[in-house]
Amino acid sequence: MDEDIYENLKRIRFNIGEAKAKYRSSGDDLRIMAVTKTVPYQRVNMVIDDGITLLGENRVQEYLEKKDLYRQNAEVHFIGHLQSNKVKYIIDNVSLIHSVDSFRLASEIDRLAEKNGLCKNILIEVNIGGEESKSGVPEHEVRDLISEISQLKNIRIKGLMTIPPVGQSESSFERMQALFSDIRSEKYSNASMEILSMGMSSDYVLAVKYGSNIVRIGSAIFGSRK
């Protein structure tokens, strides 16, 4: 039922508030992202009206079908696997791309950003568990990829994103926090390391513990996908 959304959001905010009070300083910025895959735009707009104005889109075609129906105050990030030939459809619509895991993809984002007079913000997606079934750059290759991408003029690297292996959230988040902190201290050009995007419906409280400042929540808000 649609009314469940408000109760779900209340519970999520409470859980995050408790985790922040326990593990983080009170001034730490942390945003809840509503992940909208398969969710009708009407239900997404309910969440926006309740104050969750950050949306995460997984699929280019689905986003294109819904984007003009969302509330105008929504900010949209692209969080799904992105093929180079699909970049042109979202380049001027989303404010941040979370899932950059290759120089080839970054180069296409850079090319289209220049063509559209933009400077596009991105995150590097890290395959922290080394899983063959998942996209993302291996942990030991992250610095090399950042060094390569940082030479592109129309991209700004804003941080890191990950999806941990099932059952390994805490150890994965701990490693990601350390990696994020180390890279930030190394002062790469064109890489500000402001955002650590990790945590989903099943593990967002742990993500808060380990420094995430964007938690990507879908089913815990909207219920199980049909």
In order, the DSSP letters of 56-70 are: EE--HHHHHHHGGGS
What are 197-213's pLDDT values in tens digits? Answer: 999 999 999 999 999 99
Sign of the torsion formed by the C-alpha atoms of 120, 40, 80 and 181: positive
Structural domains for the chain:
4-19+29-222 (3.20.20.10)
What are 40-79's pLDDT values in tens digits? Answer: 999 999 999 999 999 999 999 999 999 999 999 999 999 9
Characterize 68-104 residue by residue with b for buried, 16 or more Cβ atoms within 10 angstroms of its Cβ, and e for exposed: eebeeebebbbbbbbeeebbebbbeebebbbbbbbbe
- With 80 as the cut, is the pLDDT of residue 172 above it? yes
> Over pLDDT 90: what percentage of the chain?
92
Q: Say how far apart CA 14 and CA 69 lie, in whole Å.
A: 29
Per DSSP, the three-state class of 161 is: strand
- Say if CB 63 and CB 76 are below 8 A apart: yes
Residue 32 DSSP label: E
Q: Output the six-digit token pair for 163.
A: 């999806």
pTM of the model: 0.95
